[in-house]
Amino acid sequence: MSPSSPQQTGFPAEGPAHTPDSAHTPQRDGAAPESPGAGPVGRRLPVRPDAAARLARVAEASWRPALLLGVLLFVWWLVAWQELVESYLVPSPGDVLDVLADQRSELMSHTWVTTYETLIGFVLAAGIGVGTAVLIVYSKTLERAIYPVILFAQVIPKIAIAPILVVWFGFGMTPKIVLAVLIAFFPVVVSSVAGLRSINPELLELSATMGASTWQTFVKFRLPGALPHVMAGLKVAVTLAVVGAVVGEFVGAQEGLGYVLLASSGNLDAPLLFADLLLMSAIGIVLFVVIELAESLLIPWHASRRDGMALTTT
């Protein structure tokens, strides 16, 4: 066939076997059938969604959880209003909102402290985790040396070593950050190692025939291919980093949401306690969403990130 009318037979694209690519393609072809007669210009690429369509998708994705949350809030409100449970055990949503409004500035500063510890811990865990994964993947010797130690570090209950960290590092932010790193580090290593190892062997042969250096092979082939796994690990890690920071604050602190939680439960201040819980969850959710956004920017090509894909398989 001449170049002006290339073959358009839309057979399932044959992607690398380790990606879900090939599983999705038939659906894609079904959704947008190609016309065999059309030239290259006639076949349109999937259109990037515009703002309105994006908004519609967000709405479509969020109405169910929003509804469920609304129902739960209503039940909470009903329980508190009917005083089915003592108000010092379950405060009304209104009381919690009042606390959030009245003690806004104080709560904000505590939230900031916990966020700061979480973020520093997460960034360190991500850096150390990915770095360790690279060492493990590139050196058999280091793998044998490092992996058992990492596993050992992982099985120690982190909460149990929190008091030691306070003894070592004092009551400042350091023990909280260290705890966040220790908790968040493991999923990053495990997922990054899996990602770096998941490279299609043919790509390594390709890079060899191109004469690529080890560094080029890493930067152009291995690392981009590992990103989907790495991002999955980072999403787990960021929520765990919050836990690490809060647990660190439980053990010894003068500020932060963990400290507020302990104080409010000691005072049986249920509205403050609930407000505090809400703020902790908010940190985790916001950070998680930030990672999700970063993911959609970094790996728009990946199956998990493609628009309008896999509607029947999710």
Partner 1 sequence: MHTSTKLPAIAVRDLTCQFFTKRAQTTALTDVSLDIQPGEFISIVGPSGCGKSTLLKIIAGLVRPTAGSVELLGARVEGPQRDVGFAFQRSALLEWRGVRRNILLQAEIRGMDRAQAERRADYLIEMTGLRGFEDALPHELSGGMQQRAALCRALLHEPPVLLMDEPFGALDALTRETMNVELNRIWRETGVTVVLVTHSIAEAVYLGTRIEVMSPRPGRIVRTLPVDLPRERAYGPTLATDVFHGLAAEIRDLLGASSAHD
Q: Which residues bind partner 1 (CB under 8 A)?
A: 1-17, 19, 21, 24-25, 28, 34, 39-41, 43, 45-46, 200, 202-203, 205-212, 216, 220-221, 224-225, 299, 301-303, 306
Nearer to partner 1, 157 or 211 (CB): 211
Torsion of CA 230, 112, 281, 242, to 10 degrees: 40
Nearer to partner 1, 101 or 206 (CB): 206
Q: How far is the CB of 210 from partner 1 (least distance, A)?
A: 4
Q: How far is the CB of 154 from partner 1 (least distance, A)?
A: 31
Q: Which residues contact 114 (CB under 8 A, 6 or more apart)?
A: 242, 245, 246, 249, 256, 257, 258, 280, 283
Containing H/E element for 259?
helix 257-266
Nearer to partner 1, 44 or 64 (CB): 44
- The radius of gyration of the chain from alpha carbons, rounded to an integer in Å, stands at 25
Hey, what are 42's tokens?
A: 């006639």
143 burial (CB, 10 Å; 0-12 / 13-18 / 19+) is middle
Nearer to partner 1, 9 or 314 (CB): 9
Phi/psi for 217 (5° steps) reads -60, -40
Q: How far is the CB of 256 from partner 1 (least distance, A)?
A: 40
Nearer to partner 1, 4 or 312 (CB): 4
Closest residue by Cα to residue 235 from 122, 132, 95: 122
Question: How many whole angstroms separate alpha carbon 108 and alpha carbon 2?
Answer: 67
Q: How far is the CB of 310 from partner 1 (least distance, A)?
A: 12
Q: How far is the CB of 230 from partner 1 (least distance, A)?
A: 13
Nearer to partner 1, 93 or 224 (CB): 224
Q: How far is the CB of 305 from partner 1 (least distance, A)?
A: 11
